Homo-oligomer: A and B are copies of this chain.
Amino acid sequence: MLNIAVAQSGGPTSAINATLAGVIRACHESQEIRHIYGYLNGIEGVIHLQAISLSPIAESEDSLLALTQTPSAYLGSCRYKLPDFEKDDTVYRKIIENLKALNIDAFLYIGGNDSMDTVEKLHRYCEKINCPIRMIGIPKTIDNDLPGTDHTPGFGSAAKYVATSIMEIIRDSYTYSVNSVAIVEVMGRNAGWLTAASALGRVNGEIAPHLIYLPEAEFSVQKFLSDTREAMYRHKAVVIAISEGVTLDDSIGEYQSNKTDAFSHRYLSGVGKAMEHFVASEIGCKVRSIELNVPQRCAAHLASKTDLMESIAIGRAAVEKACNGQSGIMLSFIRVSNNPYEIKIEETNVAKAANQEKKVPRSWINETGNDVLKPMIDYLYPLIQGEWPVQMKNGLPMHLVRKI
């Protein structure tokens, strides 16, 4: 009989709790597993021995359903990077000691690039000291920038939210008869996957966004300006999706500092806001920036059913791998086919995902770097399909909240 522990790390998503629910269900159903614990606030909860039993959730179907549709990390999260254990293994000894305190046989860590680094280091440390605790990573991130998996749990729901919100913003932008520009800033510091999702409405004949800028393509504010001017000739209301990760070149820096002596503050308020001021001054039209902000990673009321189903399944698969005695792996999705959409869940060496970023292939962006191409749409399309039947109470979504 095994004891399993699970923790969550990195930025929240709408699906990270669905994965947790999958882990809990699988543990509860398994004849091989005795206890299932959750450490609080990621690896910090292991270091400080803050853990709770997840059996009460396992035994309540209502709680499991509510957990599945609750955004953010039920167990709390952290951003903690383990040091190199060859130089200092103090914290590693603490971690192993606190896992042994609960007789943990396998530690499942749901997280992104940094969390996979943690899993990889803990696995290597266990190998070194001959500790049998299995270390298993389960991917998640709205950024979809994790190598070693076709896509990440949580991304599909974020993409569905972005695609839907952009459609609604397009309706809003076309309301008035005056010419206007709407600049929508989308999350994704280094990878443009989520910004690309703004194009998904086109499968339904959506008329915008007219311009899409990802961090993977060359970006220049002057090109942005000329693209916008050109789009304004053709469209009454120009709608632009831009990644927060686009690098603004010197021209906007000079431009802004000349105007206000406060470039650094403006810049910090975001790419969208900076470009709003730039377009307003250079073109002089009505312009608005919309930062989609944290709802992108927590708008679980609009979760993709495909995403939540896969997120549950990958959690279940991790428990199975733990029971099989595997360690040093990350669970991953392999896309078998696009049409009909089919994936399988396999394991990959966690080292493949640790600290690395999967960016959008340049060939999926048009030559001038202001739009995405068909392979991107084909890739994204299946991930947003279906709506999770969110349970509501008093007109609002039901959430499962841990007592703090």
Task: Tell me the A residues contacting B by CB distance below 8 Å.
Answer: 11-12, 40-41, 44, 70-73, 76-79, 160, 163-165, 167-169, 171-172, 174-177, 200-201, 203-204, 207, 236, 260-262, 265-266, 269, 273, 277, 288, 290-291, 293-295, 297-302, 304, 381, 384-387, 392-399, 401, 404
> For A11, what are the chain B residues with a Cβ–Cβ distance below 8 Å?
175
Q: Are A172 and B298 in contact (CB under 8 A)?
A: yes
> Smallest distance from the beta carbon of A338 to chain B beta carbons, Å?
14
SS of A interface (majority) = mixed
Q: Are B164 and A301 in contact (CB under 8 A)?
A: yes
Distance A301 CA – B302 CA, assembled complex (angstroms): 8
Contact A293 to B294, CB < 8 A, known contacts A160-B395, A174-B72, A262-B260: no
Distance A392 CA – B177 CA, assembled complex (angstroms): 28
Q: Are A171 and B396 in contact (CB under 8 A)?
A: no
Q: Are B288 and A164 in contact (CB under 8 A)?
A: no
The count of identical subunits is: 2
10 closest A-B pairs by beta carbon, nearest first, are A262-B262, A72-B171, A384-B395, A168-B298, A172-B298, A41-B177, A385-B395, A77-B175, A203-B394, A290-B293
Distance A156 CA – B65 CA, assembled complex (angstroms): 27
Distance A295 CA – B71 CA, assembled complex (angstroms): 19
Q: Are A167 and B204 in contact (CB under 8 A)?
A: no
Distance A399 CA – B76 CA, assembled complex (angstroms): 38
Q: Which of B169, B177, B298, B299 contacts A294 (CB 8 A)?
A: B169
Q: Are A295 and B200 in contact (CB under 8 A)?
A: no
Contact A172 to B71, CB < 8 A, known contacts A207-B401, A384-B395: yes
